[in-house]
Amino acid sequence: MTPPARFLSTLRRALGTAPRPPLPAPGGRPLALVYRGPAARPAGCSEAVAELLAAGPWDLDVRYIGPHEDIPLSAASLAHARLYAQPGGGSLDPAYRRLRKHADEIRDYVQDGGRYLGFCLGGYLAGDDPGFGLLPGDTDQYIVTPGATVTHDRDTVVETRWRGAPRTVYFQDGPHFLLDPGADATVLATYPNGTVAAVVTPFGAGRVAVVGPHPEATDDWFLDENLPVHQTHDLAVDLVNELLED
């Protein structure tokens, strides 16, 4: 006869309801949750962000969160996190439709002291129309701004000035950030036409860091598109450092 506990475990697996691994206990390493799912396509976007956070100097416990992950995206899960990361990949409208039911949870998480990290699409999603409404302003496509140096939506590179120094970064139709006059914000990078490419700003008791290009891009991203490889992880580390600063 099958023991009851084993029977229940077998039944849960058969039904797809196996218990999820517990979130870290209080006092452990800070938890970083990286969204992975249908609102972050293609594959590789979430993994690049997770790799960045795991390899950085912050001693983070990095885990994926999403509809098909061991940790579901919910207010209860976010309450454990030091940082929530929204990777790039895909288009704004369909991504927001998938995440709209979580918008208030993400907004409340940051309002109460959480940290939001957004790359490209994750930057768009921090905006207001549509988006989570985490910025003192909104977002729009860089490629349609007057004087844009990239005017197509294909994978390429873009020139920026990061803390005043010229840097070339992987780019695919990323946003620029429209800040309200007098907004409390630290601009880390601009595009050649002066529009904002990366910014960190408070939101309630929390902080938001967003970037239009992809400083987290790994070498294969460039090579797959026959682009010259540019090492930019130091820029991504700078962005996260600024976000996690107390």
Position 22 pLDDT exceeds 90: no
Encode burial over 50-65: b for 16+ CB neighbours within 10 A, e otherwise.
Answer: bbbbeebebebbbbbb
Which residues have C-beta within 8 Å of that of residue 235, sequence separation ≥ 6? 162, 167, 169, 189, 198, 215
pLDDT of residue 41: 81
Mean pLDDT of 62-68: 97
pLDDT of residue 17: 37
Position 172 pLDDT exceeds 50: yes
Listed residue (198, 233, 202) closest to 212, CA to CA: 198
Alpha-carbon distance of 49 to 242, in angstroms, equals 16
* Separation of first and last alpha carbons in the chain: 57
- Are the CB atoms for 225 and 155 separated by under 8 Å? yes
Amino acid identity for residue 15 in this structure? L
At CA 39, angle to CA 154 and CA 196, rounded to 5?
55
Position 16 pLDDT exceeds 50: no
What are 33-47's pLDDT values in tens digits? 999 999 998 779 999
Handedness of CA 47, 48, 54, 55 (dihedral sign): positive
Position 10 pLDDT exceeds 60: no
Q: What is the mean pLDDT of the chain?
A: 91
Q: pTM score > 0.75 for this model?
A: yes
